[in-house]
Amino acid sequence: MDKSWTQKQVGQFIIHNTVLGKGQYATVYQAFLQNGTPVAAKTIIKDQILQSCQGDQQLYDKQVEQIRRQIGIQRKVKHPFIIDFYDVKETPKNILFFLRILRWRGS
């Protein structure tokens, strides 16, 4: 996602341009359900996956399919030690996971 935005609506989610974390392929943004519930929006940029595959379309397709399989598994899993999965949206440029935000309480 480009840096020229402050918030975007994707389905029932409102994504703010506040980065919570960043990895090789994904950036996690602060987001909210329309009712105000805070969530995390993990955004995977498809072009970055393609670049890491050095333009190999077959390898890229395999990587994206693996992400889709992981989504299918995460949708089914319900466990107190696994982050709740709200939804996934796919656009031509991104794959967006919407996850429950965990608050660290410390010890």
Domain boundaries, the chain: 7-100
What is the CATH topology of the domain spanning 7-100? Answer: Phosphorylase Kinase; domain 1 (3.30.200)
| Residue 85 CB partners (closer than 8 Å, separation 6+) | 74, 75, 77, 97, 98, 99, 100
- Average pLDDT score over the chain: 86
Query: How much is the average pLDDT of 9-19?
Result: 93
Specify the range with the lowest mean pLDDT, choosing from 4-13, 50-59, 76-85. 76-85
| Stronger pLDDT, 14 or 24, i.e. the higher one | 14
| Nearest of 44, 46, 38, 48 to residue 18 by alpha carbon | 38
Q: Read off the DSSP letter of residue 19.
A: E
46 is an annotated ligand-binding site residue:
yes
Confidence band, pLDDT 50/70/90 cuts, at residue 38: very high
- What is the pLDDT, as a whole number, of residue 48? 87
Confidence band, pLDDT 50/70/90 cuts, at residue 34: very high
